[in-house]
Amino acid sequence: MSKHCQLPRLRKKLDYAITYGSKDDAFSLANEGLEAAKKNKYSGEIEYFLGQLDILSENFDSAIAHFDAAIKFNPFDGGSYNDRALCMAELGKIDGALAYFDKGIEVEPDYATIYHNKGWLLNNIGRHSEAITYFNKALELEPGRAVTYDNLADALFNLEDYKGALRAYRLVLSLLQPGECEEIREQIMSQMKIIGKLISHKR
């Protein structure tokens, strides 16, 4: 398999492992990506996967340096802008993080993950309506993103749109792979029960 096929596939698998898998799985995939990048002598991808390993180890300043290097090798790598922004958010640099999400959107406007993550940050800082706009854009680009429906449900819940939140959570459950993510399923079902009670009280 060529680097052009293998490395994007590994990036996608790593993103899924970080969201729904274990930290061990994520480390394994990041190391696999790093070895593949080294084998192909693809400097930008080497820096990208080094940055991923630093994120997993919570070395956010070091990760930022690797993503900056990755961006120098490939200025159109939305993933590196995205993950740099996530590191800045972890370090409490919210305005800078939002700016880097925007830079990533500018260079790779069809990359669903970056819209999702900007929405995630906006939701976390209380800008729920704006967050929904970005979640919807991510879903327009990639309709089967369970994690985005999950975050959309949370934003709708924060805006007291309980019926909308319930619909979004049901979509998450329909998209998750059978037998996987049982803990997340349980959390969602528990939240859905709470929402059901809130809807009943509003009648």
**Most distant CA pair in the chain: distance in Å?**
62
* Residue 3 shares a structural domain with residue 35: yes
Nearest to 133 by CA among 147, 146, 148, 111: 148
* Residue 87 shares a structural domain with residue 137: no
pTM for the predicted model, two decimal places: 0.92
Give the pLDDT of residue 202: 73
Task: Tokens 């906006």: give the residue.
Answer: 122
Rounded to whole angstroms, how far apart are CA atoms 157 and 193? Answer: 13
Q: What is the pLDDT of residues 139-188, one digit of tens each?
A: 999 999 999 999 999 999 999 999 999 999 999 999 988 877 888 899 99
Q: Which residues of 47-72 are buried (b: 16+ CB within 10 A; e: fewer)?
A: bbbbbbbbbbeeebebbbbbbebbbe
Range from 2-11, 71-80, 194-203 carrying the lowest mean pLDDT = 2-11
Find the radius of gyration of the CA atoms of the chain.
Answer: 18
- Residue at which a domain ends, from 57, 75, 109: 109
Task: Tokens 């009670």: give the residue.
Answer: 197
Rounded to whole angstroms, how far apart are CA atoms 77 and 70? Answer: 8
Nearest to 149 by CA among 141, 158, 162, 138: 138
* Residue 146 shares a structural domain with residue 73: no
Q: Does any domain span residue 99?
A: yes
Q: Does any domain span residue 114?
A: no
* Residue 98 shares a structural domain with residue 144: no
User: What is the extent of the structural domain holding 56?
Assistant: 1-109
CATH classification of the domain holding 52: 1.25.40.10
pLDDT bin (cut points 50, 70, 90) of residue 2 is: very low
Q: Does any domain span residue 81?
A: yes
Count the Cβ atoms, other than its own, within 10 Å of residue 8: 12
* CA–CA distances in Å: residue 108 to residues 3, 15, 20, 65, 66: 20, 17, 25, 20, 19
Look over the chain and give the mean of its residue pLDDT values, rounded to a whole number.
Answer: 94
